[in-house]
Amino acid sequence: MAHDHNHSHGTGNVSDGVLLWTVIVNLGLSVFEFGAGVVSGSVALMADALHNTNDAAALGIAYIARKISRKGADETYTFGYRRAELIGAMIQLTALIVVGLYLVYEAVKRMINPEPLLGEWMMIAAGVALVVDIATAWLLWSMSKGSLNVKAAFLHNLTDAAASLAVLAGGAAITWLDWSWVDPVLTLGIAGYILWMSVGLLKKTSRILMEGAPDFLDPSELKEAVTAIESVIEIHHLHIWQLDEEHCSLEAHIVVDANTSMSGLEELKVTLKELLHDQFRIEHSTLEFEMQGMDCEDHMNHRKHTTLDD
């Protein structure tokens, strides 16, 4: 049984205006946090700023991609412009992995050669970030209207809030307990999360761009479901791919019983398309039917001769 896992970024039900404001606010927060990190000497604060920059970039890419995707398909891009977001995400994630590795380097360097820190600045900046993260999460939640996608974005913002809270606690530990080691430890934690998240998303993005079968779909289960239908003997030349995270396509050759009539083929096509859509989330399917006992080459020759006779 195929499982209905939706991996959207949670922007489908959010208005363009709200989405654009979340981008602007998060970018402003990132600039403020990074500046405060430079002043206070906190690498953890700069790491959190880069994390927020990634979130703003992700929302920005979603905003731009929605604008582009509304152009629809044309003669040059017959599938439309849906993959614009994936190309942007690939560039963004590659850059983020480089940033994550740099943060690990900085954290280790600070552990070996500690530098003086201004814990008060860390607390102020992290406090502001915490308020913005919670406000952004509330804004997405208030517009979700029952959407699981937007609720997923809401939970991601709560993760951001947790990172800001950790930096806030780190600032307090540095101010009152003089625990300077907290800053590089927090940096390693945030950098580790950035790398873990980025590598996972990069693998998913690469899989879609390489036209691999969706990770939520088992081709063997699909074959079993299709061949279980009456009159279907075999399915081969099966190709399953995604245009983006939400739109899945399929093409296949279906071998049917030799006694199947033309009207029976039409009914079978409708049945198969409904099965593929409802059970396996395939939005668009292209099916070519072959009669039992006739291989693909014979079938193509038969079609050519039929066309010439007509």
The CA distance from 307 to 18, in Å, is 55
Distances (CA, A) of 14 to 19, 59, 289: 6, 11, 42
Q: Is the pLDDT of residue 38 over 60?
A: yes
> Within a domain: residue 7?
no
Mean pLDDT of the 236-252 span = 88
Do residues 204 and 9 touch, judged by C-beta distance below 8 A?
no
Query: What rounded mean pLDDT belongs to the chain?
Result: 77
Q: Which of 29-33, 253-257, 266-270 has the lowest mean pLDDT?
A: 29-33
Q: What is the pLDDT of residue 276?
A: 94
How much of the chain exceeds pLDDT 70, in percent?
79
Mean pLDDT of the 228-247 span = 88
The CA distance from 279 to 120, in Å, is 55
Domain total for the chain?
2
Query: Is the same domain home to 79 and 201?
Result: yes
Q: What is the pLDDT of residues 77-111, one digit of tens each?
A: 777 777 777 777 787 778 778 878 877 887 787 78
What is the Cα 296 distance to its own chain's centre?
37
> Within a domain: residue 8?
no
Q: Which of the listed residues 209, 231, 256 is the one where a domain comes to its end?
A: 209
Q: What is the pLDDT of residue 25?
A: 82
All residues at 6 or more sequence positions from 9 whose CB lies less than 8 Å from its CB, including other chains: 58, 59, 62, 149, 152, 153, 245
Regarding pTM above 0.75, the answer is no
Higher-confidence residue: 184 or 242?
Answer: 242
- Please give the residue range of the domain that contains residue 104: 16-209
Q: What is the pLDDT of residues 125-184, one digit of tens each?
A: 888 888 887 887 777 666 555 444 445 456 566 667 777 777 788 888 888 887 778 878
Question: Please, which pLDDT band fits residue 62 given cuts at 50, 70 and 90?
Answer: low
Query: Is the same domain home to 67 and 123?
Result: yes
> Within a domain: residue 277?
yes
Query: Is the same domain home to 21 and 157?
Result: yes
Q: What is the pLDDT of residues 107-116, one digit of tens each?
A: 787 788 776 7
Q: What is the pLDDT of residues 182-217, one digit of tens each?
A: 878 887 887 888 788 788 878 888 888 898 888 888
Q: Which helix (H) or strand (E) holds 250?
A: strand 248-256
Question: Please, which pLDDT band fits residue 228 given cuts at 50, 70 and 90?
Answer: very high
Supply the angle between the helices 119-142 and 148-177 in degrees, to the nearest 10: 170
Query: Is the same domain home to 73 and 125?
Result: yes
Query: Is the same domain home to 50 and 196?
Result: yes
Q: Which of the listed residues 209, 242, 271 is the one where a domain comes to its end?
A: 209
Q: Which helix (H) or strand (E) holds 103?
A: helix 84-112
